[in-house]
Amino acid sequence: MLTCRELNERATDYLEGQMSLRQRAGFKLHLLMCSKCGTYVDQLAKTIALLRVGRPTQDEAAPDDKLIEAFRATAANSEKPNAR
């Protein structure tokens, strides 16, 4: 049976489907018996899902470096106090 620490170390593999059937069964058994680890895995799954929402797909172009620099310059200028 997995310990809580072992489950924690393997949670990402579980969520990404990178476990054998036997490993997955042991993982699920632990989740059935340990509510704290169940909560942890649920929160981790939600975090991963939220991070994927804002991620650009491979088909989307990366922002142009000039656009990024212009944004940074504008942000830096807006943070400066007005001179009187």
Q: pLDDT digits over 18-69, tens only?
A: 999 999 999 999 999 999 999 999 999 999 888 877 665 655 555 567 767 7
Q: Please compute Rg for the chain using Cα positions.
A: 22
For each of the domains in the chain, give its residue range(s) and CATH number, in order of start.
4-79 (1.10.10)
Q: Residue 34: its pLDDT value, please?
A: 96
> What pLDDT, on the 0 to 100 scale, is given for residue 69?
74
For position 50, what pLDDT does the model report? Answer: 85
Cβ contacts of 62 within 8 Å, gap of 6 or more = 56
The predicted structure's pLDDT at residue 73: 76
